[in-house]
Structure 1
């Protein structure tokens, strides 16, 4: 079936924001004199605020409630958005998709305030661009809901769409949605952590992977 749309994950995939998210998390936790281990920090990569809070609440007795945590993390993150850049390889991939007439959407596990701040920071607040935030769906990734909503708004069926993800959590959501999934792990990530259905892309040459997929299936 031809590729009609590419659904980009945002943090760590479209925008090189995972380091900023991690620094913001550490900033927020420092107010409560908490310094999480590197293993715990890796555990929450790509997860929603609710899921991150659940992990932290389990690890630290008396951890603040969800509302206080979300407020602290959002404030810390927005203060750092000037650090953000497109991930290396995104501009080339976007040029390919534009030339081939492939639609795009952004599908994120982050809150709306972060989605909008990220896109504005990298000059991608494009009128008409479909963006899905955690606030737009009942459940975040790994639930398929965010990706299914994007397909619905694009008036496409799941097999028409290709998901691009940097995290196993997001890749699992794409697989559950019945979509083709391209796993684009960052350097140092374990490709074996991704679902077996996902196609692993070169960390620095996503364009080549997408071009091969489009050529193999066709594009509309």
Structure 2
């Protein structure tokens, strides 16, 4: 599908910055997380359904660690340290990312087009710094800043990660476009006051007043993101 053209008469300005979620938005790591969660719980004979895994998509890792540790305790009577659960999941996902990276459709192309247009980008993820850096290194120079989940007091859906990214870039968050794939991440971007482009992947993102949704990043380009930042609406889902 060709990129969506900005509405006729829309400003040709570009967003002040584009703030990217990582897991499920830039790279397709969600299957890695689900596989790691399933393997960890499986060691204790505890089942973990796909639906349960989807419930953690976009969540801050400490929250996921507490949920998983609590599930093991309730199901198998084994007490786990949530922080140790998170560390094990991260190691497993970093190993899988090192073996193979699957980029979300249109993500690399849009990231490169934004760089060519001079639009600064930030990587804003609930994954921790070691995984965020592993992904950022795959696109050298693409991200002016990286905000990781272990570097903010409150993770998504709180606005803190996106507010921090805008602060580090020195831009007005209300002139930024956030790109997200989960309801949790969308809530974070909206709470920060940014314009949010939702690109649903594993978890549906419902329509809402003022919410922009596209089925794929192949449908947008820097000019379309500039129109969104200026207040235009886009929904092709």
**Equivalent of 1:115, from 116, 132, 142?**
132
Distance in 2 between residues matched to 1:48 and 1:146, nearest whole Å: 11
**2:56 is matched with which residue?**
44
Distance in 1 between residues matched to 2:143 and 2:22, nearest whole Å: 17
**1:28 is matched with which residue?**
40
Residues 1:207 and 2:224 are matched in the alignment: no
The answer on whether the counterparts of 1:183 and 1:199 sit within 8 Å (CA) in structure 2 is yes
User: What does 1:31-180 align with in structure 2 at a 5 Å threshold?
Assistant: 31-60=43-72, 61=74, 62-81=78-97, 82-120=99-137, 123-126=138-141, 129-180=144-195
Shift of 1:2: 5.2
**1:190 is matched with which residue?**
204
Q: Which moved more, 1:125-134 or 1:4-13?
A: 125-134
Shift of 1:92: 2.0
Distance in 2 between residues matched to 1:71 and 1:87, nearest whole Å: 25
Shift of 1:91: 1.9
Distance in 1 between residues matched to 2:62 and 2:80, nearest whole Å: 13
| TM-score normalized by the length of structure 2 | 0.81
The answer on whether the counterparts of 1:2 and 1:160 sit within 8 Å (CA) in structure 2 is no
Shift of 1:17: 1.1
Q: Equivalent residue of 1:181, what SS? A: strand
Which consecutive unaligned segments of at least 5 residues does structure 2 have?
1-12, 231-237
Between Structure 1 and Structure 2, whose CA radius of gyration is higher? 2
Q: Equivalent residue of 1:205, what SS? A: helix
Deviations 1:174-211 (A, max 9, x none): 0000000000112x64231x654420012252425x53
CA RMSD of aligned residues (A): 2.3
The answer on whether the counterparts of 2:177 and 2:229 sit within 8 Å (CA) in structure 1 is no
Q: Which moved more, 1:5-14 or 1:127-136?
A: 127-136
**Equivalent of 1:12, from 1, 5, 24?**
24
Distance in 1 between residues matched to 2:117 and 2:172, nearest whole Å: 19
| TM-score normalized by the length of structure 1 | 0.86
Distance in 1 between residues matched to 2:208 and 2:147, nearest whole Å: 22
